[in-house]
């Protein structure tokens, strides 16, 4: 955020912060006085007395009451114990548990008045004590902030430093939002909001102050995204592809099926980008089976009709072969020359293919990362499509893009991303969504079964195999692990090989296999040389075997909803009814909820939203995923309405002339300059 020089001074100017504390604070990302003031509490302990009728299950509560029974002490072993008393709180007789504090027994007697703070178990009518003292309620601070700390730094010490910093620099905290936005949303001034975040009197204070900072964080982040988008568009001139609308309409009429309304909407968005003078930078989301390949074919046809070549890059050779076959079937009749380039294409054949590509004798080239090798030259590359874009690194996508002169770029993914994450992680992209499935597609029947029912599940699988179909069996691990009590792929492979010995062939696939071995196993499964494929999650994307109708997922509770949905999407690709069995004995409520949700819906976008709610944004993509910002106050799941509002406001500001001129917007402009966006630089 924009700050003045005083607030940018080192935290070491605060009395009591020596070299050791300064080092600990630095490890927490706190270097300046401003950083210290913006290190907000992650929760507040409310020590005010409350009526137990108003306290929710498992909420923290402070009560005052009279002891009604002699303390009962039970030891589990030398170090573990539980002390239980009955306490009369108003008209409620409740239990209070003290764990591993046996010495309290000698301090308590019947009729003593005590004050207890702890977690309220509404179902059992009991409190697990966290703090306790003899005597009636007396608390100097009713509402106390709790901060994250590290090392030897205590919460108490950090509170003291923040209080001192506030006393010294309160009057130097400047407003960084335009007045009209503060008035529009009735937001607190920044200085007042910051004070209430650190020194609230009641929960309502925190709510008002937090509302201010949620909007501020989202607005600043979205300004960065929208500015990046604007500058990238303006600094990267596009091709303005004047495609032949008449030919495009005629081509669409030759398709063997009717397009869904969602496909038509997305195609219109892509075609508008092709014709635009700016380079397209669009993310196309579509659930498994929603028809992204057809959309890609139409986009490639449109670009071809404007006189350009197209490229489609996919993560695996098998997927490249499948896409080539699909595009040849769709585009071949219209005269387009579609070819395949993978590492398997070698020698004279490769040289001949690359020559034709350079001479514009190939219209569409489909391939793996082989497309980005130095000797691959296009004559006039106009459209680059990357399928399952998260499987490629930023550098790989950039190299392919630079094979042409500012070609339009379309990224495709079958991983449904919740809107809140899409506009955050991919904020600099335009996002198109195919949120409708083609008519007549059969729903995959999904069942949650306990491990004890495995014999019945295998009996069902055998019936499908006898009928000539195939099956996947998915395991979370490759080999046995002492840490996790889960089935592993090698053990399951051996068990199924014995179970189906002499009847059906079983294959094994996992991440430690050499790429060629993986390709061979998948090819055998595609050719039906293998009837059962035991695999880890490497089959999550990019495998299309229409004859596979059954999937069994071991220890399904170990996976997130989105991953389960991606795995399930490997079946249901043919005309036959398909089935998915979730083998799971979940021990947690969240695990049970996941299994229940999976059996209730096949909609990937519904599941992705649920997954985000259950797991949080950090776990949705995986911890190594870059691009997700860490907000200090805002939560993109719970505060999604504020995120939408901030995005709309940021877009309006960035694209308005007055934003770049009026003085009231200078803090926002300074922030963008500091971020490197004003020079059109790519941000972290």
> For 98-138, how does the pLDDT look when each residue is reduced to its tens digit (9 = 90+)?
999 888 888 898 999 999 989 999 888 999 998 888 888 87
pLDDT tens-digit readout, 410-467: 988 877 777 667 666 666 678 888 888 777 678 899 999 999 999 999 999 999 999 9
Which of 557, 597, 581 has its CA nearest to residue 445?
Answer: 581
Query: Which residue in the block uniquely carries the two structure tokens 């038509």?
Result: 264
Are the CB atoms for 387 and 312 separated by under 8 Å? Answer: yes
Would you say 444 and 570 are in contact if contact means Cβ atoms under 8 Å apart? no
Cα 547 to its chain centre, rounded Å, is 31
Q: pTM here? A: 0.64
How many C-alpha atoms does 504 have within 13 Å on its Cβ side? Answer: 27
Q: In which band, very low, low, confident or very high, does the pLDDT at 623 lie, cut at 50, 70 and 90?
A: very low
The strand pair at 408-413 and 281-286 is best described as parallel
Q: Model confidence over 241-282: pLDDT tens digits? A: 999 999 999 999 988 888 999 999 999 999 999 998 888 888
- 198, 147 Cβ separation under 8 angstroms: no
In whole numbers, what is the pLDDT of the chain averaged over residues? 85
pLDDT tens digits, one per residue of 219-237: 998 888 888 777 777 776 7
Confidence at residue 391, expressed as pLDDT on a 0 to 100 scale = 47
Least confident range of 145-159, 457-471, 553-567, 649-663: 649-663
Q: Are 513 and 555 in contact (CB under 8 A)?
A: no
**CA angle centred on 438, ends 435 and 443, rounded to 5°:** 90
Most confident segment among 384-398, 476-490, 511-525, 583-597 = 583-597
- SS3 at position 453: helix
Q: 259: which DSSP letter?
A: P
Inform me whether the pLDDT recorded for 146 exceeds 80.
yes
Q: In whole angstroms, what separates CA 526 from the centre of its chain?
A: 31
Query: Reduced to 3 states, what is the DSSP secondary structure of residue 131?
Result: strand
pLDDT single digits (tens) 368-397: 877 877 888 899 999 989 886 544 444 554
Judging by beta carbons within 10 Å of its beta carbon (0-12, 13-18, 19+), is residue 535 exposed, middle or buried?
A: buried
Ranges of beta strands (E only) in 414-555 are: 430-434, 445-449, 470-474, 506-509, 532-535, 548-553
**Looking at per-residue confidence, does 56 or 418 come out higher?**
56
Name the DSSP letter for residue 588.
Answer: S
Q: Is the pLDDT of residue 575 over 60?
A: yes
Which residues pair with residue 387 across a beta bridge?
A: 412
Terminal C-alpha separation, the chain: 16
pLDDT for 407 beyond 70: yes
Nearby residues of 186 by Cβ (< 8 Å), 6 or more positions away: none
Q: How far apart are CA 537 and CA 557, in angstroms?
A: 14
Instruction: Work out the average pLDDT over 406-410.
Output: 84
Residue 342 has pLDDT above 60, yes or no: yes
> C-alpha dihedral over 614, 616, 619, 621, to 10 degrees?
110
Secondary structure class of 388 (helix, strand, coil): coil
Percent of the chain with pLDDT strictly greater than 90: 43
Nearest to 367 by CA among 406, 316, 438: 316
- In sequence order, the 6+-apart residues with CB closer than 8 A to the CB of 278 are 233, 234, 236, 237, 238
| pLDDT-derived band at 541, boundaries 50, 70, 90 | low
What is the biggest distance separating any 2 CA atoms in the chain, rounded to whole angstroms? 97
Is the pLDDT confidence value at 628 over 70? no
């Amino acid at each position: 955020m924009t700050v003045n020089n005083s607030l940018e001074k080192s935290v070491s100017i605060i009395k009591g912060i020596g070299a050791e504390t300064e080092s600990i604070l630095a490890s927490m990302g706190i270097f300046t006085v401003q950083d210290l003031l913006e290190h907000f509490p992650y929760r507040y302990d409310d020590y005010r007395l409350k009526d137990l009728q108003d306290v929710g299950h498992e909420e923290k509560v402070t009560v005052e009451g009279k002891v009604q029974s002699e303390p009962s002490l039970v030891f589990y072993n030398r170090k573990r114990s539980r002390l239980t008393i009955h306490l009369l709180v108003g008209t409620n007789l409740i239990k209070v548990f003290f764990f591993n504090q046996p010495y309290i027994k000698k301090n308590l007697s019947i009729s003593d008045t005590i004050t207890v703070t702890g977690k309220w178990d509404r179902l059992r009518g009991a409190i697990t004590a966290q703090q306790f003292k003899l005597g009636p309620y007396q608390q100097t601070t009713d509402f106390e902030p709790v901060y994250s700390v590290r090392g030897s730094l205590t919460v108490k010490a950090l509170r003291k430093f923040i209080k001192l910093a506030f006393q010294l620099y309160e009057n130097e905290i400047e407003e960084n939002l335009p007045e009209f936005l503060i008035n529009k949303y009735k937001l607190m001034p920044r200085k007042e909001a910051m004070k209430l975040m650190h020194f609230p009197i009641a929960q309502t204070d925190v709510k008002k102050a937090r509302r201010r900072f949620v909007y501020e964080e989202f607005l600043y982040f979205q300004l960065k995204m929208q500015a990046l988008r604007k500058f990238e568009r303006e600094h990267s001139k596009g091709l303005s592809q004047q495609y032949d609308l008449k030919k495009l309409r005629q081509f669409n009429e030759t398709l063997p099926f009717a397009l869904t309304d969602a496909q038509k909407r997305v195609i219109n968005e892509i075609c508008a980008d092709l014709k635009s003078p700016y380079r397209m930078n669009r993310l196309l989301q579509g659930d498994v089976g929603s028809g992204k390949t057809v959309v890609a074919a139409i986009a490639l046809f449109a670009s071809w009709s404007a006189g350009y070549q197209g490229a489609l890059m996919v993560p695996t050779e098998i997927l490249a072969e499948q896409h080539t076959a699909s595009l040849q079937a769709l585009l071949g009749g219209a005269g387009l020359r579609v070819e395949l380039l993978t590492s398997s294409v070698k020698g004279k054949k490769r040289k001949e293919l690359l020559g034709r590509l350079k001479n514009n004798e190939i219209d569409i080239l489909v391939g793996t990362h082989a497309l980005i090798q130095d000797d691959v030259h296009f004559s006039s590359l106009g459209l680059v499509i990357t399928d399952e874009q998260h499987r490629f690194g930023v550098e790989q996508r950039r190299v392919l893009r630079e094979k042409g002169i500012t070609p339009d770029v379309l990224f495709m993914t079958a991983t449904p991303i919740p809107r809140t994450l899409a506009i955050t992680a991919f904020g600099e992209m335009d996002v198109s969504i195919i949120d409708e499935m083609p008519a007549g597609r059969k729903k995959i029947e999904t069942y949650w079964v306990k491990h004890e029912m495995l014999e019945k599940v295998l009996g069902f699988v055998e019936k499908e195999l006898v009928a000539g179909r195939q099956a996947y069996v998915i395991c979370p691990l490759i080999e046995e692990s002492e840490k996790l009590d889960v089935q592993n792929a090698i053990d399951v492979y051996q068990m199924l090989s014995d179970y189906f010995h002499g009847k059906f062939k079983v294959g094994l696939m996992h991440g430690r296999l050499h790429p060629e071995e993986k390709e061979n196993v998948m090819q055998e499964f595609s050719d039906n040389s293998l009837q059962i494929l035991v695999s880890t999650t490497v089959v999550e994307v990019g495998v299309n075997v229409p004859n596979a109708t059954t999937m069994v997922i071991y220890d399904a509770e170990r996976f997130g909803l989105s991953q389960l949905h991606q795995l399930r999407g490997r079946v249901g690709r043919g005309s036959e009814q398909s089935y998915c069995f979730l083998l799971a004995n979940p021990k947690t409520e969240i695990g049970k909820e996941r299994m229940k949700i999976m059996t209730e819906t096949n909609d990937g976008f519904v599941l992705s939203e649920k997954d985000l709610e259950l797991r949080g944004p950090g776990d949705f993509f995986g911890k190594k995923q870059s691009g997700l910002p860490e907000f200090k106050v805002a939560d993109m799941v719970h505060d999604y309405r504020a995120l939408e509002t901030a995005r709309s406001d940021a877009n309006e500001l960035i694209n308005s002339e007055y934003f770049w001129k009026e003085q009231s917007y200078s803090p926002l402009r300074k922030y963008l300059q500091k971020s490197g966006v004003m020079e059109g630089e790519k941000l972290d």
